[in-house]
Structure 1
Amino acid sequence: MSRIGKKPVSLPSGVSASVSGQSIEVKGPKGTRSFKATDDVTLTVEDNVVKITPRGKSKRARQQWGMSRTMVANLVTGVSEGFKKELEINGVGYRAQMQGNTLRLNLGLSHDVDYLPPEGVTVTAPKQTEIVVEGIDEQLVGQVAANIRAWRKPEPYKGKGIKYKDEYIFRKEGKKK
Protein backbone atom coordinates (compact mmCIF):
# COMPACT_ATOMS: atom_id res chain seq x y z
CA MET A 1 0.00 0.00 0.00
CA SER A 2 1.52 3.31 -1.06
CA ARG A 3 1.43 5.83 1.77
CA ILE A 4 2.02 8.68 -0.65
CA GLY A 5 -0.49 7.42 -3.23
CA LYS A 6 -3.30 7.10 -0.67
CA LYS A 7 -3.29 10.85 0.02
CA PRO A 8 -5.54 12.81 -2.34
CA VAL A 9 -4.19 16.00 -3.93
CA SER A 10 -6.34 18.98 -2.94
CA LEU A 11 -6.70 21.85 -5.41
CA PRO A 12 -6.32 25.33 -3.86
CA SER A 13 -8.62 28.17 -4.88
CA GLY A 14 -7.89 29.45 -8.38
CA VAL A 15 -6.59 26.08 -9.57
CA SER A 16 -8.64 23.74 -11.75
CA ALA A 17 -7.89 20.27 -13.09
CA SER A 18 -9.40 18.30 -15.95
CA VAL A 19 -8.82 14.63 -16.76
CA SER A 20 -9.11 13.19 -20.25
CA GLY A 21 -8.13 9.54 -20.46
CA GLN A 22 -4.72 9.11 -18.83
CA SER A 23 -3.68 12.77 -19.02
CA ILE A 24 -4.44 15.51 -16.51
CA GLU A 25 -4.22 19.25 -17.21
CA VAL A 26 -3.91 21.68 -14.30
CA LYS A 27 -4.57 25.40 -14.78
CA GLY A 28 -3.67 28.05 -12.25
CA PRO A 29 -2.64 31.70 -11.87
CA LYS A 30 0.97 31.01 -12.97
CA GLY A 31 0.16 28.93 -16.05
CA THR A 32 -0.91 25.53 -17.33
CA ARG A 33 0.86 22.19 -16.90
CA SER A 34 -0.09 18.66 -17.92
CA PHE A 35 0.99 15.11 -17.09
CA LYS A 36 0.29 11.82 -18.85
CA ALA A 37 0.01 8.90 -16.44
CA THR A 38 0.73 5.28 -17.34
CA ASP A 39 -2.04 2.72 -17.83
CA ASP A 40 -1.31 1.29 -14.37
CA VAL A 41 -3.22 4.04 -12.51
CA THR A 42 -6.60 5.76 -12.74
CA LEU A 43 -6.98 9.54 -12.31
CA THR A 44 -10.25 11.10 -11.05
CA VAL A 45 -11.21 14.66 -10.10
CA GLU A 46 -14.07 15.22 -7.67
CA ASP A 47 -14.86 18.12 -5.28
CA ASN A 48 -11.55 20.01 -5.84
CA VAL A 49 -9.60 16.84 -5.06
CA VAL A 50 -7.55 14.67 -7.43
CA LYS A 51 -7.44 10.97 -6.51
CA ILE A 52 -5.06 8.43 -7.96
CA THR A 53 -5.83 4.70 -7.65
CA PRO A 54 -3.85 1.71 -8.93
CA ARG A 55 -5.27 -0.72 -11.47
CA GLY A 56 -4.51 -4.16 -10.09
CA LYS A 57 -2.01 -5.27 -7.48
CA SER A 58 1.12 -5.63 -9.57
CA LYS A 59 4.42 -4.18 -8.38
CA ARG A 60 4.51 -1.76 -11.31
CA ALA A 61 1.01 -0.47 -10.52
CA ARG A 62 2.01 0.21 -6.92
CA GLN A 63 5.20 2.00 -8.06
CA GLN A 64 3.32 4.18 -10.54
CA TRP A 65 0.66 4.97 -7.93
CA GLY A 66 2.96 6.94 -5.61
CA MET A 67 4.96 8.46 -8.46
CA SER A 68 1.84 9.67 -10.28
CA ARG A 69 0.44 11.24 -7.12
CA THR A 70 3.72 13.12 -6.57
CA MET A 71 3.77 14.33 -10.18
CA VAL A 72 0.18 15.65 -9.89
CA ALA A 73 1.02 17.35 -6.58
CA ASN A 74 4.03 19.03 -8.25
CA LEU A 75 1.79 20.27 -11.09
CA VAL A 76 -0.61 21.82 -8.58
CA THR A 77 2.22 23.45 -6.59
CA GLY A 78 3.86 24.75 -9.78
CA VAL A 79 0.78 26.50 -11.18
CA SER A 80 -0.27 27.94 -7.80
CA GLU A 81 3.00 28.93 -6.09
CA GLY A 82 5.84 28.06 -8.47
CA PHE A 83 9.25 26.63 -7.63
CA LYS A 84 12.37 28.53 -6.60
CA LYS A 85 16.05 27.62 -6.18
CA GLU A 86 18.52 30.06 -4.64
CA LEU A 87 22.25 29.88 -5.32
CA GLU A 88 25.13 31.66 -3.57
CA ILE A 89 28.49 32.56 -5.06
CA ASN A 90 31.57 32.51 -2.80
CA GLY A 91 35.05 33.55 -3.89
CA VAL A 92 37.14 36.66 -4.46
CA GLY A 93 36.09 38.27 -7.75
CA TYR A 94 33.29 35.76 -8.37
CA ARG A 95 30.06 37.51 -9.31
CA ALA A 96 26.89 37.27 -11.36
CA GLN A 97 24.90 39.89 -13.20
CA MET A 98 21.99 39.94 -15.61
CA GLN A 99 22.49 41.45 -19.06
CA GLY A 100 19.05 41.52 -20.60
CA ASN A 101 17.85 37.93 -20.53
CA THR A 102 21.34 36.43 -20.19
CA LEU A 103 23.13 35.60 -16.93
CA ARG A 104 26.80 36.61 -17.02
CA LEU A 105 29.07 34.84 -14.53
CA ASN A 106 32.63 35.87 -13.59
CA LEU A 107 34.06 32.73 -11.99
CA GLY A 108 37.81 33.12 -12.22
CA LEU A 109 37.99 31.48 -15.64
CA SER A 110 39.86 33.03 -18.56
CA HIS A 111 36.47 34.12 -19.97
CA ASP A 112 33.05 35.15 -18.68
CA VAL A 113 30.32 32.52 -18.79
CA ASP A 114 27.08 33.60 -20.48
CA TYR A 115 24.04 31.45 -19.65
CA LEU A 116 20.74 31.85 -21.49
CA PRO A 117 17.96 30.19 -19.47
CA PRO A 118 15.41 28.02 -21.33
CA GLU A 119 11.80 29.05 -21.96
CA GLY A 120 9.62 28.87 -18.84
CA VAL A 121 12.40 29.65 -16.33
CA THR A 122 13.35 33.09 -15.05
CA VAL A 123 16.82 33.71 -13.64
CA THR A 124 17.57 36.85 -11.63
CA ALA A 125 20.62 38.14 -9.77
CA PRO A 126 19.37 40.41 -6.94
CA LYS A 127 22.95 40.78 -5.62
CA GLN A 128 26.30 40.07 -7.23
CA THR A 129 26.67 36.96 -5.08
CA GLU A 130 23.13 35.59 -5.37
CA ILE A 131 21.23 33.88 -8.18
CA VAL A 132 17.51 33.04 -8.03
CA VAL A 133 15.99 30.50 -10.45
CA GLU A 134 12.16 30.44 -10.63
CA GLY A 135 9.54 28.66 -12.72
CA ILE A 136 6.47 26.41 -12.69
CA ASP A 137 8.25 23.19 -13.73
CA GLU A 138 10.16 21.70 -10.78
CA GLN A 139 12.36 19.48 -12.94
CA LEU A 140 13.36 22.34 -15.25
CA VAL A 141 14.08 24.74 -12.36
CA GLY A 142 16.30 22.13 -10.68
CA GLN A 143 18.10 21.35 -13.94
CA VAL A 144 18.84 25.04 -14.65
CA ALA A 145 20.16 25.51 -11.10
CA ALA A 146 22.34 22.41 -11.48
CA ASN A 147 23.67 23.64 -14.84
CA ILE A 148 24.64 27.00 -13.33
CA ARG A 149 26.23 25.30 -10.29
CA ALA A 150 28.23 22.97 -12.57
CA TRP A 151 30.34 25.87 -13.89
CA ARG A 152 32.15 26.13 -10.54
CA LYS A 153 31.18 23.59 -7.88
CA PRO A 154 32.11 24.50 -4.30
CA GLU A 155 35.48 23.15 -3.23
CA PRO A 156 36.08 21.78 0.29
CA TYR A 157 39.14 23.83 1.34
CA LYS A 158 38.05 27.47 1.02
CA GLY A 159 34.41 26.93 0.00
CA LYS A 160 34.83 28.86 -3.25
CA GLY A 161 32.28 28.24 -5.98
CA ILE A 162 28.52 28.24 -6.56
CA LYS A 163 26.42 26.44 -3.96
CA TYR A 164 22.75 26.11 -3.10
CA LYS A 165 21.67 28.52 -0.35
CA ASP A 166 20.80 25.72 2.09
CA GLU A 167 23.73 23.45 1.12
CA TYR A 168 26.38 22.55 3.69
CA ILE A 169 29.94 22.28 2.38
CA PHE A 170 32.05 19.76 4.29
CA ARG A 171 35.30 21.63 4.92
CA LYS A 172 38.71 19.95 4.92
CA GLU A 173 41.85 21.04 6.67
CA GLY A 174 44.72 22.09 4.43
CA LYS A 175 48.28 20.76 4.32
CA LYS A 176 50.33 20.94 7.49
CA LYS A 177 54.05 21.67 7.70
Structure 2
Amino acid sequence: MSRIGRKEIVIPNNIEVIINQPEILVQGTKGQLSYKISELIKVETRNNIIKLIKTQNTQEAQAIHGLSRSIINNMIQGVSQGFEKKLIIQGVGYRSHMEGKNLILNIGYSHAVKIEPPENINIRVENNTNICVSGINKEKVGQIAATIRSVRPPEPYKGKGIRYENETVKRKVGKAGK
Protein backbone atom coordinates (compact mmCIF):
# COMPACT_ATOMS: atom_id res chain seq x y z
CA MET A 1 0.00 0.00 0.00
CA SER A 2 1.46 3.35 -1.05
CA ARG A 3 1.71 5.72 1.87
CA ILE A 4 2.79 8.64 -0.29
CA GLY A 5 -0.12 8.23 -2.72
CA ARG A 6 -2.69 8.32 0.08
CA LYS A 7 -1.51 11.72 1.34
CA GLU A 8 -3.69 14.66 0.39
CA ILE A 9 -2.25 17.66 -1.46
CA VAL A 10 -3.26 21.07 -0.11
CA ILE A 11 -3.59 23.77 -2.79
CA PRO A 12 -2.38 27.26 -1.67
CA ASN A 13 -4.70 30.23 -2.31
CA ASN A 14 -2.64 31.76 -5.15
CA ILE A 15 -2.50 28.48 -7.17
CA GLU A 16 -5.08 27.40 -9.75
CA VAL A 17 -5.43 23.69 -10.60
CA ILE A 18 -7.39 22.65 -13.71
CA ILE A 19 -8.14 18.94 -14.13
CA ASN A 20 -9.15 17.49 -17.51
CA GLN A 21 -8.98 13.81 -16.57
CA PRO A 22 -6.03 12.68 -18.69
CA GLU A 23 -4.17 15.92 -17.89
CA ILE A 24 -3.71 18.26 -14.93
CA LEU A 25 -2.65 21.91 -15.34
CA VAL A 26 -1.20 23.93 -12.43
CA GLN A 27 -0.91 27.72 -12.74
CA GLY A 28 0.79 29.99 -10.23
CA THR A 29 2.73 33.20 -9.82
CA LYS A 30 5.94 31.77 -11.34
CA GLY A 31 4.36 30.01 -14.36
CA GLN A 32 2.39 26.94 -15.34
CA LEU A 33 3.10 23.22 -15.56
CA SER A 34 1.10 20.27 -16.90
CA TYR A 35 1.22 16.51 -16.36
CA LYS A 36 -0.56 13.64 -18.12
CA ILE A 37 -2.15 11.36 -15.54
CA SER A 38 -2.27 7.59 -16.09
CA GLU A 39 -5.66 5.91 -16.57
CA LEU A 40 -4.86 3.88 -13.44
CA ILE A 41 -5.30 7.02 -11.29
CA LYS A 42 -8.41 9.15 -10.69
CA VAL A 43 -8.01 12.70 -9.33
CA GLU A 44 -10.60 14.32 -7.05
CA THR A 45 -10.62 17.88 -5.73
CA ARG A 46 -12.62 19.13 -2.78
CA ASN A 47 -12.25 22.66 -1.30
CA ASN A 48 -8.52 23.19 -1.99
CA ILE A 49 -7.51 19.55 -1.42
CA ILE A 50 -6.44 17.09 -4.14
CA LYS A 51 -6.79 13.37 -3.51
CA LEU A 52 -5.55 10.62 -5.85
CA ILE A 53 -7.41 7.31 -6.02
CA LYS A 54 -6.29 4.10 -7.74
CA THR A 55 -8.78 2.63 -10.23
CA GLN A 56 -7.18 -0.83 -10.12
CA ASN A 57 -5.43 -2.80 -7.41
CA THR A 58 -2.31 -3.87 -9.34
CA GLN A 59 1.37 -3.40 -8.62
CA GLU A 60 1.71 -0.96 -11.55
CA ALA A 61 -1.20 1.13 -10.24
CA GLN A 62 0.45 1.10 -6.82
CA ALA A 63 3.72 2.46 -8.23
CA ILE A 64 2.01 5.11 -10.38
CA HIS A 65 -0.15 6.20 -7.41
CA GLY A 66 2.76 7.49 -5.30
CA LEU A 67 4.66 8.80 -8.33
CA SER A 68 1.71 10.87 -9.56
CA ARG A 69 1.10 12.33 -6.11
CA SER A 70 4.76 13.38 -5.80
CA ILE A 71 4.84 14.92 -9.27
CA ILE A 72 1.62 16.92 -8.70
CA ASN A 73 2.87 18.09 -5.30
CA ASN A 74 6.19 19.18 -6.86
CA MET A 75 4.29 21.04 -9.60
CA ILE A 76 2.30 22.99 -7.00
CA GLN A 77 5.43 23.75 -5.00
CA GLY A 78 7.31 24.76 -8.18
CA VAL A 79 4.77 27.30 -9.47
CA SER A 80 4.40 28.87 -6.01
CA GLN A 81 7.99 28.87 -4.64
CA GLY A 82 10.26 27.37 -7.31
CA PHE A 83 13.24 25.06 -6.90
CA GLU A 84 16.93 25.84 -6.58
CA LYS A 85 20.16 23.81 -6.60
CA LYS A 86 23.52 25.31 -5.73
CA LEU A 87 26.88 24.02 -6.95
CA ILE A 88 30.38 24.96 -5.81
CA ILE A 89 33.50 24.79 -7.98
CA GLN A 90 36.66 23.85 -6.07
CA GLY A 91 40.14 23.81 -7.54
CA VAL A 92 42.98 26.17 -8.40
CA GLY A 93 42.17 28.03 -11.61
CA TYR A 94 38.66 26.55 -11.90
CA ARG A 95 36.02 29.19 -12.61
CA SER A 96 32.79 29.86 -14.46
CA HIS A 97 30.98 32.78 -16.03
CA MET A 98 27.85 33.55 -18.00
CA GLU A 99 27.85 34.39 -21.70
CA GLY A 100 24.31 35.52 -22.41
CA LYS A 101 22.14 32.69 -21.04
CA ASN A 102 24.86 30.06 -21.49
CA LEU A 103 27.17 28.87 -18.71
CA ILE A 104 30.87 28.68 -19.56
CA LEU A 105 33.04 26.44 -17.34
CA ASN A 106 36.85 26.66 -17.28
CA ILE A 107 37.76 23.63 -15.18
CA GLY A 108 41.11 22.27 -16.24
CA TYR A 109 40.32 21.05 -19.74
CA SER A 110 42.04 22.40 -22.85
CA HIS A 111 38.74 23.96 -23.87
CA ALA A 112 35.91 25.81 -22.13
CA VAL A 113 32.74 23.75 -21.57
CA LYS A 114 29.51 25.47 -22.66
CA ILE A 115 26.16 24.48 -21.11
CA GLU A 116 22.91 25.79 -22.58
CA PRO A 117 19.96 25.79 -20.14
CA PRO A 118 16.50 24.72 -21.38
CA GLU A 119 13.48 27.03 -21.25
CA ASN A 120 12.26 28.18 -17.82
CA ILE A 121 15.61 27.31 -16.18
CA ASN A 122 17.81 30.15 -14.89
CA ILE A 123 21.51 29.81 -14.14
CA ARG A 124 23.37 32.41 -12.06
CA VAL A 125 27.07 32.60 -11.29
CA GLU A 126 28.17 34.25 -8.04
CA ASN A 127 31.87 35.18 -7.55
CA ASN A 128 33.13 32.76 -10.28
CA THR A 129 32.86 29.61 -8.15
CA ASN A 130 29.21 29.40 -7.03
CA ILE A 131 26.56 28.33 -9.55
CA CYS A 132 22.84 28.56 -8.80
CA VAL A 133 20.33 26.66 -10.97
CA SER A 134 16.67 27.64 -10.43
CA GLY A 135 13.30 27.06 -12.07
CA ILE A 136 9.76 25.79 -11.56
CA ASN A 137 10.24 22.21 -12.77
CA LYS A 138 12.06 20.13 -10.12
CA GLU A 139 13.06 17.43 -12.61
CA LYS A 140 14.69 19.88 -15.05
CA VAL A 141 16.47 21.83 -12.30
CA GLY A 142 17.95 18.60 -10.91
CA GLN A 143 18.92 17.33 -14.35
CA ILE A 144 20.75 20.52 -15.34
CA ALA A 145 22.53 20.61 -11.97
CA ALA A 146 23.58 16.97 -12.46
CA THR A 147 24.79 17.75 -16.00
CA ILE A 148 26.93 20.63 -14.71
CA ARG A 149 28.35 18.43 -11.93
CA SER A 150 29.13 15.58 -14.36
CA VAL A 151 31.47 17.83 -16.37
CA ARG A 152 34.06 17.54 -13.55
CA PRO A 153 32.81 15.54 -10.52
CA PRO A 154 34.80 15.93 -7.31
CA GLU A 155 37.82 13.64 -7.12
CA PRO A 156 38.57 11.80 -3.85
CA TYR A 157 42.23 12.80 -3.33
CA LYS A 158 42.21 16.60 -3.34
CA GLY A 159 38.46 17.21 -3.61
CA LYS A 160 38.82 19.26 -6.80
CA GLY A 161 35.79 19.51 -9.08
CA ILE A 162 32.15 20.59 -9.05
CA ARG A 163 30.00 19.53 -6.08
CA TYR A 164 26.56 20.31 -4.68
CA GLU A 165 26.48 22.90 -1.92
CA ASN A 166 25.86 20.45 0.94
CA GLU A 167 27.66 17.44 -0.57
CA THR A 168 30.51 15.87 1.34
CA VAL A 169 33.24 14.15 -0.63
CA LYS A 170 34.84 11.11 0.99
CA ARG A 171 38.55 11.76 0.85
CA LYS A 172 41.16 9.06 0.30
CA VAL A 173 44.64 8.95 1.75
CA GLY A 174 47.36 9.52 -0.86
CA LYS A 175 50.39 7.38 -1.52
CA ALA A 176 52.21 6.34 1.63
CA GLY A 177 55.85 7.45 1.62
CA LYS A 178 58.74 5.27 2.79
TM-score bracket, normalised by the shorter chain, equals over 0.9
SS in 2 for 1:125: strand
User: Structure 2 CA distance, aligned partners of 1:114 and 1:19?
Assistant: 39
**TM-score w.r.t. structure 2 length?**
0.96
Structure 2 letter corresponding to 1:4: I
Q: What one-letter code is carried by the residue in structure 1 that aligns with 2:66? A: G
Counterpart in the other structure of 2:166 = 166
State the match for 1:117 in structure 2: 117
Q: d(CA) in 1 for partners of 2:71 and 2:46?
A: 18
Counterpart Cα distance in 1 of 2:63 and 2:151? 35
* 1:31 counterpart = 2:38: no
Runs of at least 5 residues in structure 2 that lack an aligned partner in the other structure? none
1:83 — aligned with what?
83
Aligned residues: percent identity? 42
The letter of the residue matching 1:2 is: S
Aligned residues: 177
Contact 2:21 2:37 in 1 (8 A): no
CA-based RMSD of the aligned residues comes to 0.9
- The 1-side partners of 2:12 and 2:42 are apart by 21
Letter in 2 for 1:23: E
Which residues of 2 match residues 90-109 of structure 1 at below 5 A?
A: 90-109=90-109
Q: Would the aligned equivalents of 1:17 and 1:45 in 2 still touch at CA under 8 Å?
A: no
Q: Which residue of 2 aligns with 1:14?
A: 14
**1:110-135 Cα deviation digits (max 9, x unpaired):** 11112221111000001211000001
Cα separation, 2, equivalents of 1:105 and 1:50: 43
**Shift in Å, 1:161:** 0.2
> Residue 23 of structure 1: CA displacement?
1.1
Which 4+ residue blocks in structure 1 deviate beyond 3 angstroms? none
| Contact 2:125–2:132, Cα closer than 8 Å, also in 1 | yes
| Superposition deviation, residue 56 in structure 1 | 2.4
State the 1:87 CA deviation.
0.2
Q: Structure 1 CA distance, aligned partners of 2:20 and 2:112?
A: 48
Match of 2:55 in 1: 55
Offset of residue 168 of structure 1: 0.9
Residues 52 and 69 of structure 1 are in contact (CA less than 8 Å); yes or no, is this contact kept in structure 2? yes
